[in-house]
Amino acid sequence: MANYKLIVILGPTASGKTDLSIKLAKKFNGEVISADSRQVYKGMDVGTGKVTKKEMKGVPHYLLDVANPKKIFTVVQYQKLALTAIKKIQKKNKIPFLVGGTGFYIQSIVDGAVIPEVKPDWKLRKRLEKKPVEELFEMLEKLDNRRALIIDKNNPRRLIRALEIVLSTKQPVPAVFQNKPNFDVLTLGINKTKEDLVELIGKRLLRRLNNGMIEEVKKLHKSGVSWKRLEEFGLEYRFVAQYLQNKITYQEMADKIQKESEHYAKRQMTWFKRDKKTHWIKNYTEAKKLVENFL
């Protein structure tokens, strides 16, 4: 059986993934699966830069608005839903374009990571969160020496998840295991200089502020999404929420969104650079050529 083809389009925030993907999808008979950990939530539109119906230009999009922002959506749910969407697209003899900036989500599809079947236990997590990291690390060391050896011992999230698995299964954390799907993957990365990105982020921020981003956050809060939860989303949601609670001024809010977005872009690039197979492109023409050769 011939392998199915999958085209991945990634890049740092504000690099222009949406525009490029719609152009390419239109040209090559494709449909888009979003790989964005914030666009999955309903009601988070302006702040996440979610494509509008009009911008889609008739190209079907998947994995947008699939979750309630009051609840936490995770990579495992993403993996299942995205794989289903990809199959559906393939069945229609169309080309799936996996598009987004959440490297972890993209990796879960492309590398097919098998994540231990232990659901998040929020009560346990809450309890463990109260303990200092040193103590968490000691606990893990006793229960699973192998995992303790390689884990980031300052990172409570990682420690708590490891403990969650061990305590639930009474077994050590299983070794990393991958079940690679049969995709032929072409990965395109949008290449931007730091200077360009800073400018793009700044312009986009102004646009979002003028397009009702503050109202959007107010509305989310009114509909029952707690400030704490909103702050957890990071970037625009975190700082607009802080502003609305009078924790920071308007100017501080804008400055922080800008700065943190720049940092975020950097973190994304750190992640993306690890995959040496990514083709870094500058424009639509370069992308088009690569896709033509690939298909």
Partner RNA sequence: GCCUGGAUAGCUCAGGUAGUUAGAGCACAGCUCUGAAAAAGCUGGGGUGGCCAGUGCAAGUCUGGCUCCAGGCA
What residues make contact with RNA under the rule CB under 7 A? 36-39, 44, 47-49, 72-77, 101-105, 111, 113-120, 125, 129, 152, 154-158, 160-161, 165, 176, 178, 194, 232-238, 259-260, 262-264, 266-271, 273-274
Q: For the CB of residue 95, give the shortest distance to RNA in the complex, in Å.
A: 24
Distance CA 292, CA 287 (A): 9
In Å, how far from its chain's centre is CA 13?
Answer: 11
Query: Measured from the CB atom, is 30 or 101 closer to RNA?
Result: 101
Phi, psi for residue 89 in degrees, rounded to 5: -65, -40
Distance CA 55, CA 4 (A): 27
Q: For the CB of residue 90, give the shortest distance to RNA in the complex, in Å.
A: 23
Query: Measured from the CB atom, is 73 or 294 closer to RNA?
Result: 73
In 3D space, the residue among 199, 187, 195, 191 whose CA is nearest the CA of residue 283 turns out to be 191
Query: Measured from the CB atom, is 142 or 273 closer to RNA?
Result: 273
Q: Determine which helix (DSSP H) or strand (DSSP E) holds 33, and give its type and residue range.
A: strand 30-34
SS3 186: strand
Query: Measured from the CB atom, is 103 or 189 closer to RNA?
Result: 103
Q: Is there a contact between 280 and 191 (Cβ–Cβ < 8 Å)?
A: yes
SS3 184: strand
Query: Measured from the CB atom, is 158 or 221 closer to RNA?
Result: 158
Query: Measured from the CB atom, is 115 or 209 closer to RNA?
Result: 115
Q: How many CB atoms lie within 10 A of CB 254?
A: 18
SS3 83: helix
Q: For the CB of residue 37, give the shortest distance to RNA in the complex, in Å.
A: 3
Q: For the CB of residue 167, give the shortest distance to RNA in the complex, in Å.
A: 13
Name residue 40's amino acid: V
Q: For the CB of residue 112, give the shortest distance to RNA in the complex, in Å.
A: 9
Q: For the CB of residue 27, give the shortest distance to RNA in the complex, in Å.
A: 26
Distances (CA, A) of 158 to 35, 109, 141, 152, 155: 22, 21, 13, 7, 6
Query: Measured from the CB atom, is 8 or 95 closer to RNA?
Result: 8
Distance CA 210, CA 265 (A): 23
Q: For the CB of residue 236, give the shortest distance to RNA in the complex, in Å.
A: 5
